[in-house]
Amino acid sequence: MSSQHERQRRVRIGVIGTGGMGGRHVRNLTNEVGAAQVVALSDVDTARMQEVAAACGAQHTFTDAHELINHPDVEAVLIAAPDRFHAALTRACIAAGKPVLCEKPLALSAAEAREIVDAEVAYGRRLVQVGLMREYDPAHLRVKQIMESGALGKVLAFRGVHINGGTLSWRTVEDVVTNSAVHDLHSARWLMGEEVVRVYASYVPYSLDRPDTARLLLIQLTFQSGAVGHIECNMEAGYGYEVDVKLTGETGSAETNALQSAVVRHANQRGQWIEQDWLQRFDAAYIHEARAWVNALLAGAPTGPSAWDGYVSMLVADACIASAKSGLPVDVEIPEMAGMYQRKEGFS
C-alpha cells in the first residue's frame, strides 16, 4: 500500500512569475511532470496570472510572493520573477524551509549570491537549485559524455557561442553578463569539470556615446589546468537564436549542433530553420530540468546546479564585468566549497 501511495504522490508547487519563462515552467510541470501539481501562483499582473491559473488548475493566487512561499499548501517553490527579486525570494524560501528552483541568475552579484550560500549552509542541507538548465540539454550532455569517456584525451579548450536574434537593444554590460553570459560561464565550468581562474572580457557597444552598453561580448577564459576558453555573446544578430559549445581534446573534439530542423534543398539553395528564441532551442532541456527537480524532491537527494554553482558563476561574472570595464584581465578567486555542495559529477 505504501509503495502505491508513493507512486501517486505529487509535489505541490508554487510558481512565482507567470510571464514567458514562468508560464513555460507551469505548462511543463502541469503537462510533462506527472509527479508535480501546481497549486499556487504569484504575479503582479493579475490578469495574466488568472489566465495561467485557469489553465493549470492552481487553487491559490497571490500578488505578494512571500504569501505564496509561506502558504501551507505549497511544498516547493519555483522562482521565475525578474532577476532583481531572485536573491531575496530564494532566501525567503530557505527561511521557510522549502525547496526552491530559482531561475538564473541566482543573484545580481557574487556578494548577494554568497548570502544565499551562507543561509543554506546554516540551514544544514540543500534546498536550492538554480535554473542553469543547459546541464539538461541533450546536445550538451552528449558532448560532456564523450569528453568524460576519455576518448579524446585531456580537454584543452572550451568554445561557446550564444547568439540572440531578437531586438534586445541597449542592454548594459552588466545585464549582458549576468543575464545571458552567466549561462555560458556555467557551461564552461560544468563541461570542463574545473574552475575558471582568469577572465578577459571585451565588447562592442551599441554606439560610441553609450559605452555602458554591449551589443557583442567576447570573453577569454583560463582554467585551473591551464586549458583555455572563448565565449561569444551576440545580443542582436538579426537572424535567430543559437547556442553551441565545442570542447577540443588532445586527440579530437566534440561539439553540439543546435539546428535540429531538416536540411532543405530547393530553388538552388540549401538551408535549415533556426529557432527564434531560447524557449524553442531549449524546449527539451526545460522539461528534463523540471522532471529531474521534482524527482529529486521526492527522493530527498538534491541534484542539478546548486546555490554554490550559482554563486561561483556570479564570481566569474563579476570578474568579467570588471575586466570589460577596465580593459584588463581579472583573476577569479574561489573560496573553499562547503562539503554539502559536493556532486559526483561536479567539482572536487
User: In the predicted model, is pLDDT for residue 2 greater than 90?
Assistant: no
Residue with cell 534546498: 127
What's the rounded Cα separation, in Å, for the pair 281 and 274? 9
Model pLDDT, residue 257: 85
- Residues of the chain with pLDDT > 70, as a percent, come to 95
The stretch 335-341 carries a mean pLDDT of 91
The stretch 112-120 carries a mean pLDDT of 97
Q: Which residues 6+ apart lie within 8 Å of 258 measured at CB? A: 139, 242, 243, 244, 275, 281
What's the rounded Cα separation, in Å, for the pair 129 and 106? 9
pTM of the model: 0.91
Residue with cell 510572493: 65
Closest by CA position to 162, among listed 215, 218, 234: 234
CA 156 vs. chain centroid, Å, equals 24
Residue, of 345 and 185, whose pLDDT is higher: 185
Closest by CA position to 218, among listed 202, 206, 236: 202
Residue with cell 560532456: 144
Domains within the chain, CATH numbers bracketed = 2-134 (3.40.50.720), 135-281+306-341 (3.30.360.10)
Give residue 186's pLDDT band: very low, low, confident or very high (50, 70, 90). very high
Model pLDDT, residue 343: 67
What's the rounded Cα separation, in Å, for the pair 211 and 240? 25
